[in-house]
């Protein structure tokens, strides 16, 4: 249930016990990466980073996992290039064959015009 708090914001009251939870906030990818870096630096306690950003340790675990998956995805591509779909390679080969055939036909056409003309 949502209840107004006296300062113009809202608070969430959940469950039978009536505990108060924080309003969920969506962080941009840049903010998530900043949280990841700050929590991993070691010069500030992780608890201070959590308080600063208003998140729970479970949120930090989720952010760390997202960073790990993103890094693995980029590394799997290799040299910043994505693996090419085999269908694209097949279509490129067919395009090259068609272009070569078109060049040969253009040459034949030019030779025939010279003979006729």
Region 38-65 average pLDDT: 96
User: Where do the domains of the chain lie?
Assistant: 2-83, 84-117
Strands 19-21 and 10-14: antiparallel
Name the burial class of residue 50, with classes exposed (0-12), middle (13-18) and buried (19+) by CB atoms within 10 angstroms of its CB: middle
Query: Per DSSP, which regions of the chain are E strands?
Result: 2-4, 10-14, 19-21
CA dihedral 103, 107, 108, 111 (to 10 degrees): 170
pLDDT cut 90: percent of the chain above it: 58
pLDDT at residue 18 in the model: 46
Region 50-66 average pLDDT: 96
Note the pTM of the prediction, 2 decimals. Answer: 0.50
Q: Which of 38-47, 74-83, 105-114 has the lowest mean pLDDT?
A: 74-83
Per-chain mean pLDDT for the chain: 83
pLDDT at residue 19 in the model: 46
């Amino acid at each position: 249930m949502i209840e107004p708090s006296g300062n113009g914001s809202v608070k969430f009251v959940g469950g039978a016990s009536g505990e108060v939870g924080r309003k969920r906030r969506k962080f941009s990818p840049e903010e998530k990466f900043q949280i990841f870096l700050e929590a991993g630096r070691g010069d500030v306690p992780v608890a201070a980073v959590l308080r600063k950003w208003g998140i729970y340790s479970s949120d930090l675990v989720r952010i760390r996992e997202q960073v790990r998956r993103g890094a693995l995805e980029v590394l799997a591509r290799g040299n910043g290039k994505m693996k090419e779909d085999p269908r694209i390679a097949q279509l490129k080969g067919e395009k090259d064959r068609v272009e070569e055939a078109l060049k040969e036909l253009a040459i034949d056409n030019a030779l025939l015009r010279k003979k006729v003309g």
